[in-house]
Structure 1
């Protein structure tokens, strides 16, 4: 039996507090397959298993919770201040994420999905653009992003700014993304913009297939 062809991959990205996850949910509700890479990443450290054990071996027993998972808040303070530690954690997590994503993509191919969308917060930071037919970035005002994370996640300003400092700038996102979704209005406006951007990308894919 011939191997199934993977549908075209689209990449969705955006900085902390930009509204990227909201756009992903809008597209998901519109019937598109959206794979949440961040959710797969969290499971590596939030579920006891070999990912947790490798992280403890690399960073120390003090980062293990009593439940046998990783204290991600404590580890975040380390990795956002130490590029070497951050790279080590990414290696531990991404190897396992790749396996989980491959399973979801196989299911998408079997279901005959039109496209697969990767909701990937670190897509540009990890220079993964070449793996996607199109990259869509969500942009929002810096202060709006900070306010949103403080309000919705209970974090302080210093935490948000520390993450922003290690993410690419919005100017980089504008330069490197194929399309942008501006999150500068209410939910209804964002929904319309998100759907319009995706429809434009799908139309581009269809045009390319006809050439």
Structure 2
């Protein structure tokens, strides 16, 4: 029998190095289903299968890596120089991501889960906030974000700044968010703020009883 109700859908987003993934893990440990859209996106090109074959059919065998996945470096050089190619790749990836996310949401509904969170780094950049009951944004200081990515991901400052330049500004995030989480005071404070923001968002929507968050 199909599920009678769908879970409430919340969007979680933030710029590179903001701590969004940490917030997602805090909410996951609190018992909520968090769907990692970035992980689904990577899987399309990093795991041999339909997504890889669609990309190779569109761009050519020279973009197939030695392990049967997509040669990301070669693909990046192409799509950053060719907007049409970038649009085609996004369609290949996003179509499959949407399918995978829909399957997770069906599973959540079948299990009677009242909430699903979409951990989506490009939620605002893609203009998808209308798909969510509420959008929660994680904010952090610019220099803290750069330092975090350089330290934890081994990237250089120029790389981080180029990603930041391609994302929406913090002022735009503030304008479009329903709730904000400030990642400015360490892990313990971030955990408290994350759980409070989630409870406040759900309370404002009248979606769940307080006991469901404990």
For the criterion TM > 0.5, the same-fold answer is yes
Q: How do residues 188-207 of structure 1 correspond to structure 2 at under 5 angstroms?
A: 188-206=188-206
The answer for the alignment partner of 1:38 in structure 2 is 38
Task: Please name the residue that 1:165 is paired with.
Answer: 165
SS in 1 for 2:195: helix
Structure 2 counterpart of 1:99: 99
Shift of the 156–61 alpha-carbon distance from structure 1 to 2, 3 Å rule, reads farther
- 1:71 deviates by 2.5
Could you tell which deviates more after superposition, 142-151 or 81-90?
81-90
> How much does 1:77 deviate?
4.6
* Matched residue SS, 2:93: helix
Within 5 Å, give how 1:1-211 maps onto structure 2.
1=1, 3-80=3-80, 82-206=82-206
Q: Give the distance between the partners of 2:110 and 2:186, measured in 1 at CA.
A: 37
- Structure 2 unaligned regions, length at least 5: 210-214
- Pair 1:76–1:146, CA change in 2 (3 A): farther
Report the Cα offset of residue 81 of structure 1. 5.3
Whether the aligned pair in 2 keeps the contact of 1:13 and 1:121 (CA below 8 Å) is yes
| Change over 3 Å in CA distance of 1:82–1:12 after alignment to 2 | farther
Cα deviation for residue 87 of structure 1 reads 2.3
Superposition deviation, residue 62 in structure 1: 3.5
Whole-angstrom distance in 2 between the partners of 1:32 and 1:137 = 17
Question: Over residues 29-68 of structure 1, what are the superposed CA-to-partner deviations in whole Å (9 max), with x where a residue is unaligned?
Answer: 0001101111111110011112112223334434322001
Task: Determine helix, strand or coil for the equivalent of 1:164.
Answer: helix
CA deviation map 1:130-183 (0-9, x unaligned): 100000011111111111111111111121122112111111100001111111
Question: What TM-score do the two structures reach when normalised by structure 1?
Answer: 0.92
Q: Secondary structure at the match of 1:181?
A: strand
- Is the 1:10–1:117 Cα contact (8 Å) retained in structure 2? yes
CA RMSD of aligned residues (A): 1.9
Which blocks of at least 5 consecutive residues in structure 1 are unaligned? none
Asked if structure 1 preserves the Cα contact closer than 8 Å seen for 2:6 and 2:114, the reply is no
Deviating more after overlay: 124-133 vs 66-75: 66-75
> Are residues 111 and 158 of structure 1, via their aligned partners in 2, closer, same or farther at CA, if it must alter by over 3 Å?
same
The 8 Å contact of residues 150 and 157 in structure 1, kept in 2 or not, is answered as: yes
Post-superposition CA distance 1:159-208 (Å, at most 9, x none):
11221121111111000011111111110011011000000011112179
TM-score using structure 2 length: 0.90
Distance 1:185 1:201, change over 3 A: same
**In the superposition, relative to structure 1, how do residues 73 and 186 fare at CA in structure 2: closer, same or farther (>3 Å)?**
farther
